[in-house]
Amino acid sequence: MGHEEFFLVDDREVVLTSDLHVRCDGGNGPLGHPAVFMTLEKDGEVTCKYCDRRYIHSNSPAAAAVRQDGQHYAA
């Protein structure tokens, strides 16, 4: 697994990742959701269908905006 950074943007979780394939389980252990495996789209982004967490490739232009406008936090 590559490097990940976690942000809140407009009260929504956003994960910047160096991976093209990600796994999301909603976090929070048993309070999360079933694990889903997703591939980032051509624009370098994918959204989890269960929890709406956004995953953005760290080299994507959208990542710079998240770093500038988002609130960094530890997941």
Q: State if pTM tops 0.75.
A: yes
The overall average pLDDT reported for the chain is 91
Name the strand (E) or helix (H) holding 56.
Answer: strand 54-57
Name the strand (E) or helix (H) holding 69.
Answer: helix 61-69
Distance CA 48, CA 65 (A): 20
4-69: CATH, from 2.60.260, 2.30.29, 2.40.420, 3.40.50 = 2.60.260
Q: Which residue has the higher pLDDT, 32 or 39?
A: 39
Residue 1 has pLDDT above 70, yes or no: no
Mean pLDDT of 17-24: 95
Q: Where are the domains of the chain?
A: 4-69
pLDDT cut 90: percent of the chain above it: 75
Residue 37 has pLDDT above 80, yes or no: yes
